[in-house]
Chains A and B, each alone.
Chain A
Amino acid sequence: MTNELLSDDEVITSVLEGSSRDFEILIHRYSSKIINFINGMTADRDEAQSIAQDVFLKIYQNLPYYEKQNKFSAFIFRIAKNMTLNWLYRQKRTVFFSRLLGRELDQSPVRQAPSRTDEPEQSERDEKITQNLRRLPEEQRIALILKIYLEFSYKQIQEISGWSIPKIETLISRAKSRLKKNIELQEKNSGFVLQAREK
Protein backbone atom coordinates (compact mmCIF):
# COMPACT_ATOMS: atom_id res chain seq x y z
CA MET A 1 0.00 0.00 0.00
CA THR A 2 1.48 3.41 -0.94
CA ASN A 3 1.68 6.25 1.52
CA GLU A 4 -1.03 8.22 -0.26
CA LEU A 5 -3.56 5.43 0.26
CA LEU A 6 -2.97 5.18 3.99
CA SER A 7 -5.56 6.95 6.10
CA ASP A 8 -4.48 9.47 8.73
CA ASP A 9 -5.41 7.03 11.49
CA GLU A 10 -3.30 4.26 9.93
CA VAL A 11 -0.30 6.57 9.70
CA ILE A 12 -0.77 7.64 13.32
CA THR A 13 -0.93 4.02 14.47
CA SER A 14 2.31 3.34 12.63
CA VAL A 15 4.01 6.38 14.21
CA LEU A 16 2.83 5.38 17.67
CA GLU A 17 4.13 1.86 17.11
CA GLY A 18 7.60 3.29 16.68
CA SER A 19 8.14 4.19 13.05
CA SER A 20 8.42 7.92 13.57
CA ARG A 21 9.58 8.39 9.94
CA ASP A 22 5.94 7.93 8.91
CA PHE A 23 5.19 11.24 10.55
CA GLU A 24 6.66 12.78 7.41
CA ILE A 25 3.56 11.58 5.51
CA LEU A 26 1.40 13.73 7.76
CA ILE A 27 3.76 16.68 7.32
CA HIS A 28 3.47 16.43 3.54
CA ARG A 29 -0.29 16.06 3.76
CA TYR A 30 -0.98 19.06 5.97
CA SER A 31 1.98 21.46 5.86
CA SER A 32 0.59 23.73 3.10
CA LYS A 33 -2.78 24.06 4.79
CA ILE A 34 -1.25 24.74 8.19
CA ILE A 35 1.15 27.35 6.78
CA ASN A 36 -1.70 29.04 4.88
CA PHE A 37 -3.82 29.19 7.99
CA ILE A 38 -0.99 30.64 10.11
CA ASN A 39 0.02 33.06 7.36
CA GLY A 40 -3.57 34.31 7.16
CA MET A 41 -3.61 34.85 10.91
CA THR A 42 -0.18 36.45 11.30
CA ALA A 43 0.31 38.10 7.88
CA ASP A 44 3.95 37.06 8.16
CA ARG A 45 5.21 34.39 5.78
CA ASP A 46 8.51 33.67 7.53
CA GLU A 47 6.91 33.52 10.94
CA ALA A 48 4.19 31.24 9.51
CA GLN A 49 6.89 28.69 8.52
CA SER A 50 8.47 28.87 11.95
CA ILE A 51 5.17 28.53 13.86
CA ALA A 52 4.09 25.68 11.56
CA GLN A 53 7.25 23.76 12.47
CA ASP A 54 6.45 24.14 16.17
CA VAL A 55 2.87 23.08 15.45
CA PHE A 56 4.06 19.81 13.89
CA LEU A 57 6.38 19.13 16.83
CA LYS A 58 3.46 19.73 19.18
CA ILE A 59 1.24 17.43 17.11
CA TYR A 60 3.88 14.71 17.38
CA GLN A 61 4.07 15.13 21.17
CA ASN A 62 0.28 14.98 21.46
CA LEU A 63 -0.30 12.03 19.11
CA PRO A 64 -0.80 9.60 22.05
CA TYR A 65 -3.74 11.75 23.20
CA TYR A 66 -5.46 11.82 19.81
CA GLU A 67 -8.70 9.84 19.83
CA LYS A 68 -9.07 8.04 16.54
CA GLN A 69 -12.83 8.37 16.21
CA ASN A 70 -12.37 12.15 15.85
CA LYS A 71 -11.19 13.96 12.73
CA PHE A 72 -7.42 14.32 12.62
CA SER A 73 -7.67 17.59 10.67
CA ALA A 74 -9.75 19.09 13.48
CA PHE A 75 -7.14 17.89 15.98
CA ILE A 76 -4.21 19.48 14.17
CA PHE A 77 -5.99 22.74 13.32
CA ARG A 78 -7.00 23.11 16.95
CA ILE A 79 -3.32 22.92 17.89
CA ALA A 80 -2.40 25.32 15.07
CA LYS A 81 -5.11 27.78 16.14
CA ASN A 82 -4.01 27.75 19.80
CA MET A 83 -0.32 28.14 19.00
CA THR A 84 -0.97 30.97 16.55
CA LEU A 85 -3.18 32.79 19.06
CA ASN A 86 -0.42 32.39 21.67
CA TRP A 87 2.06 33.91 19.25
CA LEU A 88 -0.28 36.83 18.53
CA TYR A 89 -0.79 37.48 22.26
CA ARG A 90 2.97 37.46 22.81
CA GLN A 91 3.34 39.96 19.98
CA LYS A 92 0.69 42.22 21.47
CA ARG A 93 2.41 42.04 24.85
CA THR A 94 5.75 42.96 23.27
CA VAL A 95 4.18 45.98 21.55
CA PHE A 96 2.41 47.02 24.76
CA PHE A 97 5.55 46.90 26.91
CA SER A 98 7.75 48.54 24.31
CA ARG A 99 5.24 51.41 24.10
CA LEU A 100 5.05 51.53 27.88
CA LEU A 101 8.81 51.92 28.04
CA GLY A 102 8.61 54.55 25.31
CA ARG A 103 10.72 52.50 22.97
CA GLU A 104 10.07 51.73 19.37
CA LEU A 105 10.81 48.19 18.31
CA ASP A 106 13.64 47.72 15.87
CA GLN A 107 11.34 45.58 13.87
CA SER A 108 7.61 45.93 13.54
CA PRO A 109 5.97 43.04 15.43
CA VAL A 110 3.77 42.24 12.49
CA ARG A 111 6.15 42.21 9.61
CA GLN A 112 4.73 42.39 6.17
CA ALA A 113 7.01 40.01 4.37
CA PRO A 114 7.17 40.75 0.65
CA SER A 115 4.73 38.74 -1.36
CA ARG A 116 6.59 36.24 -3.52
CA THR A 117 4.95 36.99 -6.81
CA ASP A 118 6.39 38.53 -9.97
CA GLU A 119 3.32 40.63 -10.78
CA PRO A 120 3.48 43.97 -8.91
CA GLU A 121 -0.26 44.56 -9.31
CA GLN A 122 -1.13 41.25 -7.73
CA SER A 123 1.44 41.79 -5.02
CA GLU A 124 -0.13 45.16 -4.18
CA ARG A 125 -3.61 43.68 -4.08
CA ASP A 126 -2.42 40.74 -1.96
CA GLU A 127 -0.84 43.12 0.52
CA LYS A 128 -3.97 45.24 0.71
CA ILE A 129 -6.15 42.22 1.44
CA THR A 130 -3.65 40.74 3.90
CA GLN A 131 -3.44 44.03 5.80
CA ASN A 132 -7.20 44.27 6.06
CA LEU A 133 -7.50 40.64 7.01
CA ARG A 134 -5.03 41.27 9.84
CA ARG A 135 -7.26 44.05 11.17
CA LEU A 136 -10.27 41.76 11.63
CA PRO A 137 -11.09 40.58 15.16
CA GLU A 138 -9.35 37.24 15.86
CA GLU A 139 -12.47 35.06 15.93
CA GLN A 140 -13.77 36.52 12.66
CA ARG A 141 -10.35 36.04 11.07
CA ILE A 142 -10.09 32.40 12.17
CA ALA A 143 -13.57 31.58 10.85
CA LEU A 144 -13.00 33.37 7.53
CA ILE A 145 -9.59 31.80 6.89
CA LEU A 146 -10.85 28.31 7.68
CA LYS A 147 -13.77 28.85 5.31
CA ILE A 148 -12.18 30.71 2.39
CA TYR A 149 -8.57 29.50 2.33
CA LEU A 150 -9.03 25.99 3.61
CA GLU A 151 -12.57 25.45 2.33
CA PHE A 152 -13.80 23.83 5.52
CA SER A 153 -17.53 23.44 6.05
CA TYR A 154 -19.24 25.12 9.00
CA LYS A 155 -19.41 21.68 10.64
CA GLN A 156 -15.64 21.20 10.31
CA ILE A 157 -15.03 24.72 11.64
CA GLN A 158 -17.20 23.79 14.60
CA GLU A 159 -15.01 20.72 15.27
CA ILE A 160 -11.89 22.88 15.21
CA SER A 161 -13.11 25.91 17.13
CA GLY A 162 -15.87 24.52 19.34
CA TRP A 163 -18.19 27.37 18.31
CA SER A 164 -21.84 26.80 17.42
CA ILE A 165 -22.92 26.80 13.75
CA PRO A 166 -24.99 30.05 14.10
CA LYS A 167 -21.98 31.75 15.68
CA ILE A 168 -19.73 30.61 12.83
CA GLU A 169 -22.27 31.86 10.30
CA THR A 170 -22.42 35.27 12.00
CA LEU A 171 -18.63 35.52 12.35
CA ILE A 172 -18.02 34.76 8.67
CA SER A 173 -20.79 37.08 7.50
CA ARG A 174 -19.48 39.96 9.64
CA ALA A 175 -15.90 39.29 8.58
CA LYS A 176 -16.84 39.52 4.89
CA SER A 177 -18.86 42.73 5.39
CA ARG A 178 -16.11 44.35 7.43
CA LEU A 179 -13.39 43.33 5.01
CA LYS A 180 -15.41 44.64 2.05
CA LYS A 181 -16.09 47.94 3.82
CA ASN A 182 -12.44 48.41 4.84
CA ILE A 183 -11.11 47.67 1.36
CA GLU A 184 -13.65 50.07 -0.20
CA LEU A 185 -12.69 52.76 2.31
CA GLN A 186 -8.99 52.21 1.61
CA GLU A 187 -9.54 52.46 -2.15
CA LYS A 188 -11.57 55.63 -1.66
CA ASN A 189 -8.81 57.16 0.48
CA SER A 190 -6.07 56.23 -1.98
CA GLY A 191 -8.23 57.83 -4.73
CA PHE A 192 -8.33 61.05 -2.72
CA VAL A 193 -4.56 60.96 -2.28
CA LEU A 194 -4.02 60.48 -6.02
CA GLN A 195 -6.41 63.33 -6.80
CA ALA A 196 -4.61 65.60 -4.32
CA ARG A 197 -1.24 64.75 -5.88
CA GLU A 198 -2.54 65.49 -9.38
CA LYS A 199 -3.73 68.92 -8.24
Chain B
Amino acid sequence: MNCKRVRLKLSAYQDRELTFLQSQELERHMGSCLACKAEWESLNELVNHLGQLTTPAPDSGFSSRIMAGLRTQPEKKYRLLPSLAYTLACLMIFISGFLLEMSANGQPPTTPQPTITTFSAVLTESRDLGLLTVQDSTLELFSNLKQISLVKKQDNLLSKLLIPPLQGTSLRSRVSGDTYEK
Protein backbone atom coordinates (compact mmCIF):
# COMPACT_ATOMS: atom_id res chain seq x y z
CA MET B 1 0.00 0.00 0.00
CA ASN B 2 1.49 3.36 -1.01
CA CYS B 3 1.26 6.65 0.89
CA LYS B 4 -1.50 8.07 -1.33
CA ARG B 5 -3.76 5.07 -0.74
CA VAL B 6 -2.98 5.04 2.98
CA ARG B 7 -3.99 8.72 3.30
CA LEU B 8 -7.27 7.95 1.55
CA LYS B 9 -8.02 5.07 3.91
CA LEU B 10 -6.87 6.70 7.17
CA SER B 11 -10.27 8.19 7.93
CA ALA B 12 -12.11 4.88 7.42
CA TYR B 13 -9.43 3.18 9.56
CA GLN B 14 -10.08 5.71 12.31
CA ASP B 15 -13.81 5.08 12.01
CA ARG B 16 -13.18 1.31 12.31
CA GLU B 17 -14.75 0.67 8.95
CA LEU B 18 -11.87 -1.26 7.33
CA THR B 19 -11.56 -5.02 7.21
CA PHE B 20 -9.05 -6.76 9.45
CA LEU B 21 -6.65 -7.32 6.54
CA GLN B 22 -6.87 -3.71 5.34
CA SER B 23 -6.24 -2.45 8.89
CA GLN B 24 -3.20 -4.68 9.24
CA GLU B 25 -1.79 -3.45 5.95
CA LEU B 26 -2.28 0.16 7.00
CA GLU B 27 -0.64 -0.38 10.38
CA ARG B 28 2.33 -2.05 8.70
CA HIS B 29 2.77 0.94 6.41
CA MET B 30 2.53 3.46 9.24
CA GLY B 31 5.15 1.51 11.15
CA SER B 32 7.67 2.36 8.48
CA CYS B 33 6.40 5.72 7.11
CA LEU B 34 6.87 8.72 9.40
CA ALA B 35 4.86 11.13 7.21
CA CYS B 36 1.79 8.90 7.22
CA LYS B 37 2.16 8.34 10.96
CA ALA B 38 2.26 12.12 11.51
CA GLU B 39 -0.86 12.48 9.38
CA TRP B 40 -2.57 9.79 11.46
CA GLU B 41 -1.68 11.56 14.70
CA SER B 42 -2.97 14.93 13.51
CA LEU B 43 -6.20 13.27 12.39
CA ASN B 44 -6.57 11.73 15.83
CA GLU B 45 -6.01 15.09 17.46
CA LEU B 46 -8.76 16.65 15.34
CA VAL B 47 -11.28 13.94 16.16
CA ASN B 48 -10.42 14.23 19.87
CA HIS B 49 -11.14 17.96 19.67
CA LEU B 50 -14.43 17.29 17.91
CA GLY B 51 -15.38 14.71 20.52
CA GLN B 52 -14.69 17.15 23.36
CA LEU B 53 -16.97 19.79 21.91
CA THR B 54 -19.54 20.75 24.54
CA THR B 55 -22.91 19.55 23.37
CA PRO B 56 -26.14 21.31 24.27
CA ALA B 57 -28.63 19.42 26.40
CA PRO B 58 -32.38 19.83 25.94
CA ASP B 59 -33.91 22.78 27.81
CA SER B 60 -35.85 22.04 30.99
CA GLY B 61 -39.24 22.50 29.34
CA PHE B 62 -38.30 20.85 26.06
CA SER B 63 -40.37 17.70 26.45
CA SER B 64 -43.40 19.40 27.99
CA ARG B 65 -43.51 21.98 25.18
CA ILE B 66 -43.63 19.19 22.60
CA MET B 67 -46.32 17.31 24.51
CA ALA B 68 -48.38 20.52 24.72
CA GLY B 69 -47.90 20.94 20.97
CA LEU B 70 -49.21 17.42 20.40
CA ARG B 71 -52.37 18.19 22.34
CA THR B 72 -53.14 21.20 20.15
CA GLN B 73 -52.74 19.13 16.98
CA PRO B 74 -56.05 17.80 15.64
CA GLU B 75 -56.43 14.06 15.29
CA LYS B 76 -55.65 12.62 11.85
CA LYS B 77 -59.26 11.46 11.25
CA TYR B 78 -60.63 14.97 11.87
CA ARG B 79 -58.03 16.50 9.62
CA LEU B 80 -59.47 14.47 6.78
CA LEU B 81 -62.80 16.33 7.06
CA PRO B 82 -61.89 19.57 5.27
CA SER B 83 -60.64 17.74 2.18
CA LEU B 84 -63.78 15.57 2.20
CA ALA B 85 -65.96 18.70 2.39
CA TYR B 86 -64.13 20.27 -0.58
CA THR B 87 -64.61 17.10 -2.63
CA LEU B 88 -68.32 16.95 -1.80
CA ALA B 89 -68.79 20.63 -2.67
CA CYS B 90 -67.06 20.17 -6.05
CA LEU B 91 -69.22 17.12 -6.75
CA MET B 92 -72.40 19.03 -5.87
CA ILE B 93 -71.49 21.92 -8.19
CA PHE B 94 -70.77 19.50 -11.02
CA ILE B 95 -74.03 17.56 -10.56
CA SER B 96 -76.17 20.72 -10.28
CA GLY B 97 -74.56 22.11 -13.46
CA PHE B 98 -75.35 18.88 -15.26
CA LEU B 99 -78.98 18.91 -14.05
CA LEU B 100 -79.44 22.56 -15.09
CA GLU B 101 -78.13 21.80 -18.56
CA MET B 102 -80.52 18.84 -18.83
CA SER B 103 -83.54 20.85 -17.71
CA ALA B 104 -82.74 23.61 -20.25
CA ASN B 105 -82.35 21.28 -23.27
CA GLY B 106 -84.60 18.45 -22.27
CA GLN B 107 -81.77 16.01 -22.98
CA PRO B 108 -78.31 15.35 -21.60
CA PRO B 109 -75.67 17.79 -22.82
CA THR B 110 -73.63 16.47 -25.71
CA THR B 111 -70.17 17.38 -26.78
CA PRO B 112 -70.42 20.10 -29.45
CA GLN B 113 -69.40 19.06 -32.95
CA PRO B 114 -66.06 20.48 -33.95
CA THR B 115 -66.50 23.33 -36.41
CA ILE B 116 -64.39 23.79 -39.46
CA THR B 117 -62.32 26.90 -38.98
CA THR B 118 -60.25 27.38 -42.10
CA PHE B 119 -61.20 27.63 -45.71
CA SER B 120 -58.65 25.05 -46.81
CA ALA B 121 -60.09 22.65 -44.19
CA VAL B 122 -63.54 23.13 -45.75
CA LEU B 123 -62.15 22.20 -49.12
CA THR B 124 -60.25 19.19 -47.79
CA GLU B 125 -63.25 17.81 -45.99
CA SER B 126 -65.56 18.41 -48.94
CA ARG B 127 -63.13 16.52 -51.16
CA ASP B 128 -62.94 13.68 -48.65
CA LEU B 129 -66.74 13.42 -48.62
CA GLY B 130 -66.83 13.26 -52.40
CA LEU B 131 -68.60 16.59 -52.81
CA LEU B 132 -65.73 18.27 -54.60
CA THR B 133 -62.91 17.46 -56.89
CA VAL B 134 -60.10 19.65 -55.76
CA GLN B 135 -56.53 19.53 -56.95
CA ASP B 136 -53.73 19.62 -54.37
CA SER B 137 -52.45 22.83 -55.98
CA THR B 138 -55.88 24.42 -55.38
CA LEU B 139 -55.75 23.43 -51.75
CA GLU B 140 -52.34 25.04 -51.47
CA LEU B 141 -53.75 28.18 -53.04
CA PHE B 142 -56.35 28.47 -50.29
CA SER B 143 -54.18 27.27 -47.47
CA ASN B 144 -53.42 30.86 -46.50
CA LEU B 145 -57.07 31.83 -46.16
CA LYS B 146 -57.77 31.50 -42.48
CA GLN B 147 -61.18 33.04 -41.91
CA ILE B 148 -64.48 31.32 -42.58
CA SER B 149 -65.92 34.66 -43.67
CA LEU B 150 -63.76 34.36 -46.75
CA VAL B 151 -65.94 31.48 -47.91
CA LYS B 152 -68.56 34.01 -48.94
CA LYS B 153 -66.13 35.96 -51.08
CA GLN B 154 -64.93 32.84 -52.83
CA ASP B 155 -68.42 31.45 -53.51
CA ASN B 156 -68.30 32.13 -57.23
CA LEU B 157 -64.98 30.41 -57.56
CA LEU B 158 -66.22 27.43 -55.59
CA SER B 159 -69.27 26.96 -57.79
CA LYS B 160 -66.89 26.31 -60.69
CA LEU B 161 -65.09 23.62 -58.72
CA LEU B 162 -68.22 21.69 -57.75
CA ILE B 163 -68.55 18.53 -59.78
CA PRO B 164 -71.41 17.67 -60.16
CA PRO B 165 -73.07 20.96 -59.29
CA LEU B 166 -75.05 20.70 -56.07
CA GLN B 167 -78.53 22.08 -56.27
CA GLY B 168 -79.65 24.48 -53.60
CA THR B 169 -76.65 24.07 -51.37
CA SER B 170 -73.44 25.86 -50.90
CA LEU B 171 -70.39 25.14 -48.93
CA ARG B 172 -71.55 27.64 -46.33
CA SER B 173 -74.23 25.16 -45.24
CA ARG B 174 -71.43 22.79 -44.24
CA VAL B 175 -69.63 25.53 -42.44
CA SER B 176 -72.67 26.54 -40.43
CA GLY B 177 -73.08 22.94 -39.31
CA ASP B 178 -76.13 21.96 -41.35
CA THR B 179 -76.27 18.37 -42.47
CA TYR B 180 -75.81 17.95 -46.16
CA GLU B 181 -77.68 15.17 -47.87
CA LYS B 182 -76.55 14.11 -51.27
A residues within 8 Å of B by Cβ? Answer: 20-21, 23-24, 27-28, 31-32, 35-36, 39, 45, 48-49, 52-53, 56-57, 60-61, 64, 115-117, 122, 125-126, 129-130, 144, 147-149, 153-154, 169, 172-173, 176-177, 179-180, 183
Contact = CB atoms under 8 A, between A and B. Distances in A.
A64 B55 CA distance: 31
A172 B15 contact: yes
B63 A129 contact: no
**Lowest 4 CB-CB distances: which A-B pairs, in order?**
A173-B11, A31-B58, A45-B56, A56-B66
Given A53-B62, A148-B51, 13 more contacts: A20-B70, A24-B67, A32-B58, A45-B56, A53-B65, A53-B66, A57-B69, A115-B54, A126-B53, A148-B50, A173-B11, A180-B42, A180-B46
Interface string B71-99: 00100100000000000000000000000
Interface residues of B, number: 30
Interface of B: 8, 10-12, 15, 17, 42-43, 46-47, 49-59, 62-63, 65-67, 69-70, 73, 76
Contacts, number: 93
Contacts of B63: 24, 27-28, 31
B55 A172 contact: no
Nearest to B16: A153
29 contacts: A20-B70, A23-B66, A24-B63, A31-B62, A31-B63, A32-B57, A35-B56, A36-B56, A45-B56, A49-B58, A52-B62, A53-B69, A56-B66, A57-B66, A60-B73, A115-B54, A117-B54, A129-B53, A130-B53, A147-B15, A148-B51, A149-B50, A149-B53, A153-B17, A169-B12, A169-B17, A173-B10, A176-B46, A180-B46
